[in-house]
């Protein structure tokens, strides 16, 4: 449904290098009925999907670690982030995306994935909506070494951690990635890892 409080939308491409950055001008109708001209920038990197893999028997999770330049630029001394496995949809449906990314990044071939919710991660500046999944894994699902795709300059370390340790890493500051925190909290609240 179109928002009747927005009109005269104009887009100007500022960058189309790695992702797309646009300057957007528009008129927005205020609560008192008056129109106000506004200008914002919107960063479009496409939509994505993320999966937290867990093992009920071992009470472990699979996470990844990789260098993230923006965090390094924002006072993360190492620039390395511990994250749940994720990627852009690139034309795939979200379920196929997380299966593909899980195999590329972690080496696990997932059977079943369970969608739990969707979220905009930074709606003030980024258009991306992220599809969140959880998936049970077993050692038998390991079909490769993971590590990502080298031609995409992915250098990913695969971490298998006790769930309780990974959960403590949130308050300890070792895990600072929003999508990963949300998924670990979901798994904690669900009670799956305490059964």
pLDDT of residue 76: 73
Domains of the chain in sequence order? 6-44 (no CATH), 48-194 (3.90.79.10)
User: Which candidate, 113, 99, 87, 103, places its Cα nearest to that of 143?
Assistant: 103
CB-hemisphere CA count at 13 Å for 94?
Answer: 19
The confidence score (pLDDT) of residue 144 equals 81
Q: What is the pLDDT of residues 42-63, one digit of tens each?
A: 999 999 999 999 999 999 999 9
Average pLDDT over residues 94-116: 95
Contact 81, 177 (CB under 8 A): yes
**Annotated binding-site ranges for Mg(2+):** 86, 101, 105, 154
Tell me how far apart the alpha carbons of residues 149 and 19 are, in angstroms, rounded to a whole number.
19
pLDDT at position 38, please? Answer: 96
**What is the structure's pLDDT at 155?**
77
By the 8 A CB rule, do 21 and 12 touch? no
Distances (CA, A) of 23 to 11, 42, 65: 6, 7, 33
- pTM score of the predicted model: 0.91
Please give the annotated binding residues, written as ranges. 86, 101, 105, 154
Q: Per residue in 73-86, pLDDT tens?
A: 998 788 899 999 99
pLDDT digits (tens, 9 = 90+) for 144-168: 877 666 666 567 899 999 999 999 9
Q: Tell me, what's the pLDDT at 2? A: 84
């Amino acid at each position: 449904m179109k928002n009747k409080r927005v009109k005269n939308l104009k887009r100007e491409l500022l960058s189309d290098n790695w992702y797309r950055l646009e300057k957007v001008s528009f008129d927005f109708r205020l609560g008192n009925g008056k129109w106000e001209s506004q200008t914002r920038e919107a960063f479009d990197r496409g939509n994505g999907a993320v999966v937290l893999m867990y093992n009920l028997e071992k009470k472990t999770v699979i996470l990844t670690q990789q260098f993230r330049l923006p965090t390094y630029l924002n006072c993360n001394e190492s620039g390395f982030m511990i994250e749940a496995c994720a990627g852009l949809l690139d034309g795939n449906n979200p379920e196929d995306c997380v299966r593909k990314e899980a195999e590329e990044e972690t080496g696990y071939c997932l059977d079943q994935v369970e969608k739990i919710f969707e979220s905009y991660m930074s709606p003030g500046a980024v258009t991306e909506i992220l599809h969140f999944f959880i998936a049970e894994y077993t050692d038998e699902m390991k079909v490769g070494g993971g590590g990502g795709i080298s031609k995409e300059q992915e250098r990913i370390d695969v971490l298998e951690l006790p769930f309780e340790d990974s959960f403590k890493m949130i308050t300890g500051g070792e895990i600072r990635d929003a999508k990963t925190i949300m998924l670990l909290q979901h798994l904690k609240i669900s009670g799956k890892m305490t059964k």
